[in-house]
Amino acid sequence: MNVQVIDPIAPRYWCVASQPQPWHVTLTGDGAPAVDEFRSIALHKKNESCGCKAVSFSRTLLLEHADAASLALGEEITLMNWGNAFVVSAADGRVELKLHLEGDFKKTKKKVHWMSCTSHDDGVLLELIELDHLITKKKIEEGEDIKDFINPHSRKMSLAIGEPALRNVQHGTIIQLERKGFFRVDKAFVRAGQAMQLIAIPTGRAT
């Protein structure tokens, strides 16, 4: 039910997990910008009222470790909100991609999000917080001590770098971090180096 309510209204943003270290990408081919440029991207492709965000496009990008490590030489992938690209090389934390914008995104198996290195420099430190059940047993029986069933790991936190547009998101706003899930902004951006705190919204999806 959460998804049915918030999916139509939650603006979309990107972030790259800080650990393991993201891989650096060099982009070549027609369509790779000679200099960094900003383009206006819809915050929600199916809801114009959400507005737009400015996204930095450049020849140097970051990919999440898991995405980059899974790439195969010659594979065609889709860079979300950009287009297709071929994997020229991928090893030792570095990837070379050659843009293939005429490619069909419907035919690629991997659709990956990314951040330009320029965006990373201006990115927002994120603490992604997931809250679990406080009690590990559904029903405490007579004679049992509730202290024996307290979950010591009910709060999990991971770090990420979010795109600069997240600086404009206010406290209490519900957003979607694409490919990660829905979150409520519990602590908005204040200054560089100080983390925003986002609390994951349960959707019933198994983890």
Do the domain assignments include residue 51? Answer: yes
What is the rounded CA–CA span in Å between residue 187 and residue 170?
A: 8
- Write out the residue range of the structural domain in which residue 161 sits: 2-200
Mean per-residue pLDDT, 126-130: 97
The C-alpha atoms of residue 5 and residue 26 are separated, in whole angstroms, by 39
pTM, to two decimals: 0.90
Torsion (CA) 187, 126, 46, 2 in degrees, nearest 10: -60
Query: Does any domain span residue 185?
Result: yes
Residue 92 lies in a domain: yes
| CATH number, position 21 | 2.40.240.10
Given a cut of 90, whether residue 55 has pLDDT beyond it is: yes
Alpha carbon distance, N-terminus to C-terminus of the chain: 18
pLDDT in tens, 145-191: 999 999 999 999 999 999 999 999 999 999 999 999 999 999 999 99
Q: How many domains are contained in the chain? A: 1
pLDDT tens, position by position, 101-118:
999 999 999 999 999 987
